[in-house]
Amino acid sequence: MTDMSRRQFLKTGITLVSGAAITMSLGGTLVGCGGEAAPLFAATLSAAKPVTQWVKEFAEKIGVALIAGFIPDWVSGAAGQFSADAREANNMMQSAGFNVYATSVYQYSFSANTITFYAMGQNTGFDACAPFLRNDGKALVEGPVLMGLALSALNWQSTDVHPADGLLLTKALQNVGSNFNKTEPNPFRFYTPAGSLAIQYSSDTAKQQGLVSVVAKKDNGGELHGEDYLINWS
């Protein structure tokens, strides 16, 4: 079998069964089908720098507007479907243990549409959850996806498409609840302003590590960004 990275599975739409083609090592390498190692970008999560801090850096890096400093203030004043979706999202997040209003509220405009997002954290722990809201719906995502977005923004590869257009989520095509201790055998898939996004996550709880693979594409199928990220937590 030829050497394949997780990103190649995402590019071709083939489902990767966890453990069948890759392994992780403490050295921060990805081992493909042929056994060759590829370098990874690495990040560390802790109480001192939880996922919500990475979301703040993501918002800063992609250059979105800060529209409110306190989430409840924006939710109470939001109009129409934004308010209803935000309230529903907040209730879902709080029921799952995300009770900390940890970031500001950010907004990005494109083609007469807007995407609004923010993140809520935990009283104890480093995980987070965030809604990406539009007039016609929302995508609600958790820590592994958020880290994939944040690290991709910091290492964005496309020179002709803005990272906000390639990474902000407009609609979830395939998305289930996720956390850092759970491997998801199927990728999370989303629409973005520029095209589509696939994110896959594998966990090695014994080593307190996770592996996030991200592939962003244009509407015409051309690749905008593809990278693997090693997540360490403590």
Question: What's the per-residue H, E or C state across 67-134?
Answer: EECCHHHHHHHCCHHHHHHHHHHHHHHHHCCCCEECCCEEEEEECCEEEEECCEECCCCCCEEEEEEE
Q: What is the pLDDT of residue 216?
A: 97
- Asked if pLDDT for residue 162 goes beyond 50, the answer is yes
Contact 82, 75 (CB under 8 A): no
Mutual orientation of helices 143-154 and 51-62 as an angle, nearest 10°? 40
Q: What is the pLDDT of residue 26?
A: 29
- Asked if pLDDT for residue 136 goes beyond 90, the answer is no
Q: What is the pLDDT of residue 57?
A: 97
Q: Average the pLDDT over 57-70 and give the result.
A: 96
Q: Average the pLDDT over 169-190 and give the result.
A: 88
Contacts of 44 (CB under 8 A, 6+ apart): 231, 232, 233, 234
Q: What is the pLDDT of residue 7?
A: 53
User: pLDDT exceeding 90 applies to what percent of the chain?
Assistant: 66
Q: How confident is the model at residue 83 (pLDDT cuts 50, 70, 90)?
A: confident
Question: How far out from the chain centre does Cα 135 lie?
Answer: 21
Q: Average the pLDDT over 228-232 and give the result.
A: 95
User: Which DSSP category does 213 fall into?
Assistant: E
Beta-carbon neighbour count of residue 159 at 10 Å? 6
Q: What is the pLDDT of residue 10?
A: 52
Q: What is the pLDDT of residue 36?
A: 42
- Asked if pLDDT for residue 221 goes beyond 70, the answer is yes
Q: What is the pLDDT of residue 111?
A: 85
The overall average pLDDT reported for the chain is 84
Q: What is the pLDDT of residue 202?
A: 95
- Asked if pLDDT for residue 13 goes beyond 70, the answer is no
What's this model's pTM, rounded to 2 decimal places? Answer: 0.85
Q: What is the pLDDT of residue 38?
A: 52
Token pair 């979706």 in the structure block, residue: 85
Domain coordinates of the chain in residue numbers? 6-233
Minimal CA–CA distance to 116: which of 148, 78, 156, 144?
A: 78
Query: In this structure, what token pair is assigned to residue 135?
Result: 């007039």
Q: Average the pLDDT over 202-219 and give the result.
A: 95
Q: What is the pLDDT of residue 132?
A: 96
Q: What is the pLDDT of residue 55?
A: 98
